[in-house]
Structure 1
């Protein structure tokens, strides 16, 4: 194929790689971050011999994807051939860093054939589709189109004596694997499971999941959770691929017991780490975005009572709402203990803990919005008063022979004095600041709220730990924060992610990349991996919670002690840690981790060489 990059020194023979994922141009989960952040390195290594394949289902795909056709490119020729069959297939560029070549297949265009697609899949692979599932229907239609696309690409590659590799992410993208193997299409396949389907279900429902894992029967558990079809599809992907890979050693154990195959490769996930040329820029950004968080905190808390913003530590956690899997339960227990310890030791600091997750809500809490609006009005009044004082003070200085500073109150009109006083009076209240910023649809059964109520951690003035539960993801359009998630992370001091079940876990890496310390657990793929690094320690901003060898309450106590130790650190110590955290984050740059993907591809080609005829 054309324009092979010189960077691909190891690849003596011509090769082409197609990477297939449900999340291409479709932001639905963590795999989206994997594919998107990895794209620049992949394009740099493979050039025009790399193509992404995804489903054309995202409503905003037109803003993320630029379609174009170039008849000289074999991929475009295959796409044109499929278009002539009446299928909705697009070839172009995904508008992200690296601008990777992308093919989008619309499952809707083959839905009239869905009955036959399912029938032949059942006939060939003994997987039935008795229970109707719209998602499975889309997945099967997409898988059929992927197989047809790769079949045609394989034909072109054979003609040009090029080896074709196909890398599939998760079962939603991998249903073509079984057909590729059965029909002996000359393609080397790699399948990556980022989290086993049954593992996620079981971890949420079994407090001793890891102890029970070796003794579980996958089939009975699949029936128990009514996911038999999907579980069988996932196993077909795992067993049909030439190489099975997963993102961590933690998930590898699940593969052995729940998928019945041991992975040949571990492919940890990375990010594009960008470092500043001067160290103080990290601190400057932290200060800038912390001021924006301070502004929110003033609006949320200061109408009821105040505390010293110079002695505030901002903790946060974020991710999908999986109360136990994400460690929200452990975090809340540790916060309750931290609150007690800070009171007992009379520590003159305040911790504000943000829970940033996604839960169904009706609207933003009216009291929260009103408080913020009134505070904005106070801010406006202060600006007008300052403007008036500045003008009159300058005039006084220029015209008065008395060099003493005049009484500033006399420089302010009675109108602004009255407006200032009335606005503050209308703002102040004796109500406790709300622990949740939105009106939840299922407020009475929300697990975070129920814990806070039971622990009486309700933002009392005497509490050293304050809670802000924000059941929506942060973005620049958020009326409460008005900043991007990455900016919010930079403004905080520490991320708390003591997960019970986390195949990898991007959130701690995102913290380190922004110079923010992070708590992780050795049950997460990231935590398990970071233990192997020489600089994976607290000095470099990573705090490890041992959840493998100790029970829930011991882990909660350990987390509360680590939080307390962090609260006691000085500003100078936190600045030093912020710079060292960036050093650790470089270990997770794709430039360093892409070697694991290269290893998986080499395994596929060496273990199962293609016999070109």
Structure 2
């Protein structure tokens, strides 16, 4: 019920003043990876949608770029543009000549979504660049082509938010949450133009941090000494760094995803982060109550099939005494910790051989690097093994039929000689197929033909880790992401993860790190580092993290050599653990997954939005 105030006028007349009714705020999340899968931010936004829709309902909308290929799959248009404030502004933009689309994102939660097609604005990028320089002193000289796309999209977002704020800002409280520098030019503009919208800016990884950490040793030790302008010029990312820095400074609320990255923000942005927003997942999508152990066995069997086709052509071992480790992510040899992982595995191999441990470890390295194609020899081996399988199934069927007839018609209860039930054709075919398949060559360490050698292949060659029979650690470098259409594995990446025993991600530079979290929610133990956002968060969350199956490599205080030793020791301990203990650990790690559900972690975002509204002079209802 509204409260009425009365002011006296000329001691006779009274004027009633009724404060305007405060409606529930409206929230827009804006990112380059809305309905556009590029990297981890897509996972952040998509997985968070159900929790955000639960909190905000129809007052929540996402804004991103329109790309026909992804929109065709994930976007469902809404015909009635007047049914919501977001649709009304899209309609107005269409009338202004912009290619704007309004609809639903076809993910869990089906949120409202606005997609902006900026391609027709690319011809005007010089004009937008001039305005960036004139208003904000952001130079875009010699910037990469992506910057042109970012600026064109930013102009469309600016128009959308300006129209939205001018139309609804006097009656509604509005929050615009920007993710990363690729949509940040719009934030800079609407703040300069005093558009009535509260703003939050989240950096998931600073541009300068990613570049410097991947190229210089002792990044964290030297962090406080870096001059952001000098480093931006050195790496040719002046435009990107200035956009990111200015957005961080102008936003009402600055956030990042971990304490690790917050330290970078102080140095590179000249502003302390207001809040940390840890990343989560929609855990219900991964939940397999009482089934995750069975799923592990199911998908491990599929990995067995790959291993047989890849290795057994040269030599074989007991698959029942085999452990599958893997690492995955963007190809950043140092940042993602591929260097220390390989070094630790080299040391693990030595430890296992010296200790006489008969367990075999197969290490899968899953990343994306330019390739010509899958290696024909790898495909050929797989195809011939499949031929052996089909031949064996035919023999099995033939033996079964003959055995049944012989047993039914024979009074002798003893098992007859089964060889007599296999005719010469199938015997000869099996013998020839096996002879064709077997080779004295070492199994390939790389499944594809790389366009050029890289640090991974160089390391394996230099250390002679080339899948020798006596090695206890074998390597499969798969320079492409796993998908159901992949002829080598034929399953989803998520299924592959469930089939493995351990994920290894001792990153050097990792603002958050979804890969270990994806292991946790699938009940797979994982290795992370205290320099990753996830590792730092888990150490703050619990003391006995290693007991529940999350191993943290200390890279803050240990140098490369000592950290590699620690990782090798962790891996050796895991390999020599008995099977019962590994099963119990999978149970424990799966039990903590609920902690990372967005239904619990959304509150961090709620706090950021509340703070933005407060700093704009309003309070969320």
Q: Per the shorter chain, which TM-score range?
A: over 0.9
Match of 1:408 in 2: 418
Kindly provide the CA deviation profile for residues 551-610 of structure 1, in whole angstroms up to 9, marking residues without a partner as x: 100000000000000001111111111111112221111111111101111111112215
For residues 28-61 of structure 1, what are the alpha-carbon distances to aligned partners after superposition, in whole Å with 9 as ceiling and x for unaligned? Answer: 1100000100011111111110000000135232
CA displacement 1:312-341 (0-9 Å, x = unmatched)? 011000001100000000000000000000
Match of 2:568 in 1: 560
CA 1:12–1:44 in structure 2 vs 1: closer, same or farther (change >3 Å)? farther
Q: What's the offset of the Cα at 1:85?
A: 1.3
Q: Could you say which residue in structure 2 is the equivalent of 1:505?
A: 513
Alpha-carbon distance between aligned partners in 1 of 2:452 and 2:256, rounded to the nearest angstrom = 36
Rg larger for = 2
What is the deviation of 1:141?
0.9
1:133 aligned to 125, 135, 144, which one?
144
DSSP 3-state at the match of 1:436: coil
In structure 2, the residue corresponding to 1:181 is in which secondary structure? helix
Q: 2:320 matched to which residue of 1?
A: 310
Change (3 A) 1:179 1:212: same
Q: Which residue of 477, 496, 499 maps to 1:488?
A: 496
Q: Provide the residue aligned with 1:367 in structure 2.
A: 377
Structure 1 residue aligned with 2:486, among 478, 484, 487?
Answer: 478
1:76 correspondence with 2:76: no
Moved more, 397-406 or 232-241: 397-406
Q: Which of residues 542, 561, 583 is equivalent to 1:534?
A: 542
Deviations 1:291-314 (A, max 9, x none): 000000000000100110010011
CA distance, structure 2, for counterparts of residue 122 and residue 377 of structure 1: 65
Q: Distance in 2 between matches of 1:225 and 1:104?
A: 32
Distance 1:123 1:112 in 2: 19
CA contact (8 A) 1:338 1:561 kept: yes
Matches within 5 A, 1:43-82: 43-57=53-67, 59-70=69-80, 71-82=82-93
Equivalence for 1:31: 41
Q: 1:318-397 counterparts in 2 under 5 A?
A: 318-397=328-407
Q: Is the 8 A contact 2:287 2:521 kept in 1?
A: no
After superposition, residues 91-490 of structure 1 pair within 5 angstroms as 91-159=102-170, 161-274=171-284, 278-279=289-290, 281-443=291-453, 446-490=454-498
Alpha-carbon contact 1:26-1:58 (below 8 Å) kept: no
**Which whole-Å CA distance do the structure 2 matches of 1:483 and 1:72 have between them?**
41
1:525 to 508, 524, 533: 533
Question: Is residue 199–residue 253 contact of structure 2 (8 Å, CA) maintained in 1?
Answer: yes
CA distance in structure 2 between the partners assigned to 1:109 and 1:68 by the alignment: 23
Which string of whole-angstrom CA distances, capped at 9 and with x for unpartnered residues, describes residues 240-259 of structure 1? Answer: 11110000000000000011
Does the CA contact (< 8 Å) of 2:143 and 2:237 recur in 1?
A: no
Check conservation: 1:187, 1:610, Cα contact below 8 A: no
In the aligned structure 2, how far is the partner of 1:381 from the partner of 1:504? Answer: 49
Contact map agreement 1:530 1:536 (CA 8 A) in 2: no
Whether 1:573 and 2:581 are equivalent positions in the alignment is: yes
In structure 1, the residue matched to 2:554 is 546
Q: Which runs of 5+ in 1 are unaligned?
A: 1-10
The answer as to whether partners of 1:535 and 1:584 remain within 8 angstroms in 2 is no
Structure 2 distance, partners of 1:45, 1:12, is 17
Q: State which of 27, 31, 42 in structure 2 corresponds to 1:17.
A: 27
Structure 1 distance, partners of 2:134, 2:544, is 50
> Alignment partner of 2:445: what SS?
coil
Distance 2:428 2:361 in 1: 35
CA change 1:556–1:336 in 2 (3 A) is same
Q: Would the aligned equivalents of 2:281 and 2:598 in 1 still touch at CA under 8 Å? A: yes
Q: Distance in 2 between matches of 1:506 and 1:133?
A: 28
CA distance in 2, matches of 1:561, 1:12: 59
Q: Secondary structure at the match of 2:83?
A: coil
User: How many angstroms apart in 2 are the aligned matches of 1:298 and 1:535?
Assistant: 40
> Matches of 1:189 and 1:58 in 2, distance apart?
29
Contact 1:188 1:610 in 2 (8 A): no
Q: Find the residue that maps to 1:175 and give its secondary structure.
A: helix
Matches of 2:357 and 2:38, distance apart in 1 = 42
User: TM-score normalised to the size of structure 2?
Assistant: 0.94
Give unmatched runs, 5+ long, in structure 2: 1-20
Residue 115 of structure 1, CA deviation: 2.6
Task: Identify which range, 121-130 or 479-488, moves more after superposition.
Answer: 121-130
> What is the Cα deviation at residue 187 of structure 1?
0.4
Which deviates further from its counterpart, 74-83 or 518-527? 74-83
Change (3 A) 1:541 1:607: same
Change (3 A) 1:169 1:163: same
Q: CA deviation at 1:12?
A: 7.8
Alpha-carbon offset, residue 398 of structure 1: 1.7
2-structure distance, mates of 1:172, 1:306: 50
Mapped to 1, the partners of 2:309 and 2:29 lie a distance apart of 47
State how far apart, in whole Å, the 2-side matches of 1:188 and 1:235 are.
18
Query: 1:611 and 1:582, CA in 2 relative to 1: closer, same or farther beyond 3 A?
Result: closer
What's the CA shift for 1:132? 4.7
In structure 2, C-alpha distance between the alignment counterparts of 1:266 and 1:210, rounded to whole Å: 19
Check whether the contact 1:23–1:31 (CA below 8 A) recurs between aligned residues: yes
